[in-house]
Chain A
Amino acid sequence: GENVEQHPSTLSVQEGDSAVIKCTYSDSASNYFPWYKQELGKRPQLIIDIRSNVGEKKDQRIAVTLNKTAKHFSLHITETQPEDSAVYFCAARISYDKVIFGPGTSLSVIP
Protein backbone atom coordinates (compact mmCIF):
# COMPACT_ATOMS: atom_id res chain seq x y z
CA GLY A 1 0.00 0.00 0.00
CA GLU A 2 0.89 3.66 -0.07
CA ASN A 3 3.34 4.50 2.67
CA VAL A 4 5.94 7.10 3.66
CA GLU A 5 8.56 6.17 6.21
CA GLN A 6 10.60 8.78 8.07
CA HIS A 7 13.73 8.52 10.23
CA PRO A 8 14.73 9.33 12.86
CA SER A 9 11.64 9.89 14.96
CA THR A 10 13.58 12.17 17.32
CA LEU A 11 16.78 14.10 16.72
CA SER A 12 18.84 16.30 19.04
CA VAL A 13 21.66 18.44 17.74
CA GLN A 14 23.86 21.18 19.15
CA GLU A 15 23.24 24.67 17.87
CA GLY A 16 25.30 25.25 14.75
CA ASP A 17 25.46 21.59 13.78
CA SER A 18 23.62 20.06 10.82
CA ALA A 19 20.46 17.95 10.94
CA VAL A 20 19.41 15.35 8.40
CA ILE A 21 16.01 13.68 8.16
CA LYS A 22 15.41 10.86 5.70
CA CYS A 23 12.22 9.57 4.09
CA THR A 24 11.28 6.76 1.78
CA TYR A 25 8.08 6.31 -0.19
CA SER A 26 6.44 3.29 -1.73
CA ASP A 27 4.34 4.59 -4.64
CA SER A 28 6.44 5.19 -7.75
CA ALA A 29 3.72 7.49 -9.10
CA SER A 30 4.62 10.09 -6.45
CA ASN A 31 5.76 13.26 -8.15
CA TYR A 32 5.84 15.98 -5.50
CA PHE A 33 7.61 15.89 -2.15
CA PRO A 34 6.94 18.69 0.35
CA TRP A 35 8.45 19.16 3.79
CA TYR A 36 6.41 20.76 6.56
CA LYS A 37 7.51 22.24 9.87
CA GLN A 38 5.10 22.19 12.79
CA GLU A 39 5.90 24.20 15.88
CA LEU A 40 4.24 23.32 19.16
CA GLY A 41 0.56 24.16 19.05
CA LYS A 42 0.75 25.52 15.52
CA ARG A 43 -0.28 24.36 12.07
CA PRO A 44 2.09 22.55 9.67
CA GLN A 45 3.74 25.00 7.28
CA LEU A 46 5.66 24.28 4.11
CA ILE A 47 9.38 24.96 4.34
CA ILE A 48 10.63 23.47 1.09
CA ASP A 49 9.43 21.13 -1.64
CA ILE A 50 10.85 19.25 -4.61
CA ARG A 51 9.33 17.77 -7.73
CA SER A 52 10.25 14.48 -9.33
CA ASN A 53 12.14 16.06 -12.22
CA VAL A 54 14.65 17.70 -9.87
CA GLY A 55 17.37 16.01 -7.82
CA GLU A 56 18.20 18.77 -5.37
CA LYS A 57 16.83 22.09 -4.18
CA LYS A 58 18.26 24.59 -1.72
CA ASP A 59 16.84 27.57 0.14
CA GLN A 60 19.33 29.29 2.44
CA ARG A 61 20.07 26.83 5.29
CA ILE A 62 17.62 24.22 4.07
CA ALA A 63 18.13 21.73 1.26
CA VAL A 64 16.26 18.72 -0.01
CA THR A 65 17.58 15.87 -2.15
CA LEU A 66 15.59 13.30 -4.10
CA ASN A 67 16.63 9.90 -5.42
CA LYS A 68 13.70 8.63 -7.48
CA THR A 69 15.35 5.33 -8.30
CA ALA A 70 15.75 4.46 -4.65
CA LYS A 71 12.54 6.29 -3.65
CA HIS A 72 14.43 8.28 -1.05
CA PHE A 73 14.35 11.96 -0.21
CA SER A 74 16.09 13.86 2.57
CA LEU A 75 15.97 17.19 4.37
CA HIS A 76 19.21 18.89 5.35
CA ILE A 77 19.35 21.81 7.75
CA THR A 78 22.73 23.47 8.22
CA GLU A 79 23.84 25.83 10.98
CA THR A 80 20.87 24.88 13.13
CA GLN A 81 19.35 27.44 15.47
CA PRO A 82 17.07 26.99 18.51
CA GLU A 83 14.11 28.26 16.46
CA ASP A 84 14.55 25.26 14.16
CA SER A 85 13.23 23.08 17.01
CA ALA A 86 9.91 21.62 15.82
CA VAL A 87 8.33 18.52 14.34
CA TYR A 88 9.20 18.02 10.67
CA PHE A 89 7.01 16.03 8.29
CA CYS A 90 7.95 14.73 4.90
CA ALA A 91 5.17 13.91 2.46
CA ALA A 92 4.61 12.43 -0.98
CA ARG A 93 1.87 13.47 -3.35
CA ILE A 94 0.50 10.36 -4.98
CA SER A 95 -2.22 11.96 -7.05
CA TYR A 96 -4.03 15.21 -7.68
CA ASP A 97 -5.86 14.91 -4.42
CA LYS A 98 -3.89 12.59 -2.17
CA VAL A 99 -0.84 13.40 -0.05
CA ILE A 100 0.67 10.85 2.32
CA PHE A 101 2.62 12.16 5.30
CA GLY A 102 5.50 10.53 7.13
CA PRO A 103 5.16 10.02 10.90
CA GLY A 104 7.27 13.08 11.73
CA THR A 105 10.65 13.85 13.29
CA SER A 106 10.90 15.84 16.49
CA LEU A 107 14.00 18.02 16.18
CA SER A 108 15.54 19.65 19.23
CA VAL A 109 18.34 22.17 18.81
CA ILE A 110 20.29 22.58 22.03
CA PRO A 111 21.72 26.07 22.61
Chain B
Amino acid sequence: GQSLEQPSEVTAVEGAIVQINCTYQTSGFYGLSWYQQHDGGAPTFLSYNALDGLEETGRFSSFLSRSDSYGYLLLQELQMKDSASYFCAVFTSGTYKYIFGTGTRLKVLA
Protein backbone atom coordinates (compact mmCIF):
# COMPACT_ATOMS: atom_id res chain seq x y z
CA GLY B 1 0.00 0.00 0.00
CA GLN B 2 0.90 3.66 -0.03
CA SER B 3 1.48 5.50 3.20
CA LEU B 4 3.08 8.56 4.67
CA GLU B 5 3.87 8.80 8.36
CA GLN B 6 4.36 11.99 10.31
CA PRO B 7 3.89 12.82 13.99
CA SER B 8 0.39 13.91 14.91
CA GLU B 9 1.46 16.77 17.14
CA VAL B 10 4.56 18.79 18.01
CA THR B 11 4.89 21.54 20.61
CA ALA B 12 7.68 24.13 20.81
CA VAL B 13 8.29 27.58 22.25
CA GLU B 14 8.64 30.83 20.39
CA GLY B 15 12.12 31.33 18.99
CA ALA B 16 12.95 27.64 19.02
CA ILE B 17 13.70 25.28 16.13
CA VAL B 18 11.41 22.37 15.33
CA GLN B 19 11.74 19.49 12.89
CA ILE B 20 8.75 17.60 11.50
CA ASN B 21 9.65 14.24 10.02
CA CYS B 22 7.93 12.36 7.25
CA THR B 23 8.57 8.82 6.05
CA TYR B 24 6.82 7.52 3.00
CA GLN B 25 6.12 4.32 1.18
CA THR B 26 4.61 4.91 -2.23
CA SER B 27 4.65 3.38 -5.67
CA GLY B 28 6.13 6.03 -7.90
CA PHE B 29 7.86 9.11 -6.59
CA TYR B 30 8.62 12.46 -8.17
CA GLY B 31 9.11 14.58 -5.11
CA LEU B 32 8.09 15.53 -1.60
CA SER B 33 6.19 18.66 -0.75
CA TRP B 34 5.12 20.38 2.42
CA TYR B 35 1.91 22.32 2.91
CA GLN B 36 0.82 24.53 5.79
CA GLN B 37 -2.77 24.86 6.91
CA HIS B 38 -4.02 27.23 9.58
CA ASP B 39 -7.25 26.39 11.36
CA GLY B 40 -10.16 27.23 9.09
CA GLY B 41 -7.84 28.01 6.20
CA ALA B 42 -6.77 26.41 2.96
CA PRO B 43 -3.53 24.46 2.64
CA THR B 44 -0.74 26.57 1.19
CA PHE B 45 2.37 25.31 -0.51
CA LEU B 46 5.66 25.64 1.38
CA SER B 47 8.30 23.62 -0.42
CA TYR B 48 9.12 20.88 -2.90
CA ASN B 49 12.12 18.56 -2.98
CA ALA B 50 12.77 16.36 -5.97
CA LEU B 51 16.45 15.70 -5.27
CA ASP B 52 18.29 14.68 -2.14
CA GLY B 53 19.42 17.48 0.07
CA LEU B 54 18.29 20.58 1.86
CA GLU B 55 16.24 23.40 0.35
CA GLU B 56 16.06 26.63 2.30
CA THR B 57 13.37 29.29 2.03
CA GLY B 58 13.70 31.90 4.71
CA ARG B 59 12.98 30.44 8.14
CA PHE B 60 11.79 27.18 6.62
CA SER B 61 13.97 24.42 5.20
CA SER B 62 13.01 21.06 3.75
CA PHE B 63 15.16 17.98 3.40
CA LEU B 64 14.82 14.82 1.34
CA SER B 65 16.63 11.50 1.31
CA ARG B 66 15.22 9.37 -1.50
CA SER B 67 17.25 6.32 -0.50
CA ASP B 68 15.72 6.43 3.01
CA SER B 69 12.23 7.45 1.82
CA TYR B 70 12.44 10.20 4.37
CA GLY B 71 12.12 13.92 4.56
CA TYR B 72 11.66 16.66 7.10
CA LEU B 73 10.53 20.23 7.43
CA LEU B 74 12.67 22.45 9.64
CA LEU B 75 11.19 25.61 11.07
CA GLN B 76 13.58 28.08 12.69
CA GLU B 77 12.97 31.10 14.89
CA LEU B 78 9.47 29.90 15.58
CA GLN B 79 6.74 32.51 15.73
CA MET B 80 3.22 32.26 17.11
CA LYS B 81 1.86 32.51 13.58
CA ASP B 82 3.61 29.23 12.73
CA SER B 83 1.00 27.41 14.82
CA ALA B 84 -0.75 25.36 12.15
CA SER B 85 -0.98 21.90 10.67
CA TYR B 86 1.79 20.77 8.34
CA PHE B 87 1.27 18.09 5.73
CA CYS B 88 3.92 16.21 3.84
CA ALA B 89 2.81 15.00 0.44
CA VAL B 90 4.38 12.77 -2.16
CA PHE B 91 4.06 13.95 -5.73
CA THR B 92 3.57 10.75 -7.65
CA SER B 93 5.02 9.82 -10.99
CA GLY B 94 2.79 9.32 -13.99
CA THR B 95 0.16 11.76 -12.83
CA TYR B 96 0.09 15.15 -11.21
CA LYS B 97 -1.51 14.04 -8.02
CA TYR B 98 -0.39 13.97 -4.44
CA ILE B 99 -0.66 11.48 -1.66
CA PHE B 100 -0.93 13.45 1.57
CA GLY B 101 0.15 12.52 5.05
CA THR B 102 -2.28 12.87 7.93
CA GLY B 103 -0.70 16.10 9.12
CA THR B 104 1.29 17.34 12.10
CA ARG B 105 -0.28 19.92 14.35
CA LEU B 106 2.36 22.37 15.52
CA LYS B 107 1.68 24.39 18.65
CA VAL B 108 3.97 27.31 19.36
CA LEU B 109 3.92 28.47 22.96
CA ALA B 110 4.82 31.94 24.15
Q: Bound pair: A and B? A: no
